[in-house]
């Protein structure tokens, strides 16, 4: 018989870290970012409507700082949300672990790949 | 212990509607639900990045969608939800951080929450200032 020793490392800390980083980043910059891109610029409220013009945003996405910022915001927001939603589904009594896990971590994974693809196409990385 | 006893299913406590039973649980589910709005906004930004990579016409079309009334209302709702996330994130933080010692004394929960909220305000003002300075 013998005791079966599980030597496999848990991947939980990685997801928890991504959840924490995304939660912190969205808490710090989320509200202002939503206000700028979704309300102020489209309405011309406090900021000019051409603030997010193609040229402006392209220059930003081409800069190292801009590309890192965009990558961090988009991917970490997804990982934060996925992890939190997965745990909420569990709290609501949905024990279909594998389906929920595939969805809640699969979407952020696909989103991360799409972000890398888009930033590569724009010409950074 | 080796494997389940055949033919038996473990008892599972019914979990229907537990979170509606008191305001503490209700608040918990509401702040957890902010994640849906964080994901929605991340998706908006991701679509924007993809449209940016497709050229000016695609980008301008995305901007046009952002100007629609539906989009504005949608973003106001997202703004409220993510602001609530900010508020709860820093209110929960004292319970998620290991004890922080400052000159031999433990930093109080209120001090941690206040610092976090202050940091969010400062970062938001800097972000707005940068956008204002660069392109306004």
Q: pLDDT tens digits, residue range A65-93? A: 999 999 999 999 999 999 999 999 888 87
Instruction: Report CB contact under 8 Å: A42, B71.
Output: yes
User: Which CATH number does the domain housing residue B111 bear?
Assistant: 1.20.1300.10
Instruction: Report CB contact under 8 Å: B45, A77.
Output: yes
Into how many domains does chain B fold? 1
Does residue B8 lie within any of the structural domains? no
Domain extent for B39: 18-135
Interval B71-99 mean pLDDT: 95
Does residue B105 lie within any of the structural domains? yes
Does residue B1 lie within any of the structural domains? no
pLDDT of residue A1: 42
Does residue B3 lie within any of the structural domains? no
Please tell us whether the domain made up of A17-122 is placed in CATH 3.90.1170.50.
no
Return the exposure string of A10-27: e unless at least 16 CB atoms fall within 10 Å of the residue's CB, then b.
eeeeebeebbbebbbbbb
The nearest alpha carbon in chain A to B81 belongs to A31
Where chain A has pLDDT below 70, the residues are 1-9, 95-96, 124-125
Backbone angles phi, psi at B17, to 5 degrees: 70, 15
| Average pLDDT along chain B | 90
Would you place residue B8 in the very low, low, confident or very high pLDDT band (cuts 50, 70, 90)?
A: confident
Instruction: Report CB contact under 8 Å: B86, A29.
Output: no
pLDDT of residue A5: 54
Mutate to test the interface with B, among A17, A53, A54 (most CBs of B within 10 A): A54
Instruction: Report CB contact under 8 Å: A91, B132.
Output: no
Does residue B26 lie within any of the structural domains? yes
Question: Is the pLDDT assigned to residue B135 strictly greater than 70?
Answer: no
Q: Which of A28, A34, A122 sits opposite B52 (nearest CB)?
A: A122
Does residue B107 lie within any of the structural domains? yes
Which tokens sit at A87?
């745990």
Closest CA–CA distance from residue B56 to any residue of chain A (Å): 6
Indicate the pairing of strand B101-102 with strand B105-106: antiparallel
């Amino acid at each position: 018989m013998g005791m079966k020793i599980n030597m496999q490392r848990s991947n939980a800390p990685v997801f928890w870290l991504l959840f924490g980083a995304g939660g912190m980043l969205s808490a710090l910059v989320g509200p202002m970012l939503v206000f700028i891109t979704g309300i102020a610029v489209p309405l011309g409220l406090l900021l000019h409507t051409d603030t997010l013009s193609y040229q402006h945003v392209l220059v930003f996405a081409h800069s190292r700082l801009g590309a890192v910022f965009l990558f961090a915001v988009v991917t970490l927001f997804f990982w934060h949300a996925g992890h939190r939603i997965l745990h909420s589904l569990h709290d609501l009594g949905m024990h279909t672990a594998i389906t929920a896990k595939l969805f809640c971590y699969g979407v952020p994974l696909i989103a991360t790949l799409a972000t890398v693809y888009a930033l590569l196409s724009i010409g950074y990385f | 212990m080796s494997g389940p006893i055949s033919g038996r299913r473990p008892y599972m406590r019914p979990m229907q509607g537990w979170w509606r039973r008191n305001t503490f649980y209700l608040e918990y589910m509401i702040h957890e639900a902010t994640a849906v709005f964080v994901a929605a906004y991340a998706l908006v930004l991701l679509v924007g990045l993809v449209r940016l990579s497709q050229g000016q016409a695609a980008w301008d079309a995305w901007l046009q969608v952002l100007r629609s009334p539906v989009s504005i209302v949608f973003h106001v709702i997202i703004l409220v939800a993510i602001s609530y996330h900010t508020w709860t994130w820093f209110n929960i933080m004292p319970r998620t951080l290991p004890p922080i010692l400052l000159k031999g004394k433990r930093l109080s929960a209120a001090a941690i929450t206040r610092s976090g909220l202050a940091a969010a305000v400062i970062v938001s003002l800097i972000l707005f200032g940068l956008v204002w300075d660069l392109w306004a």
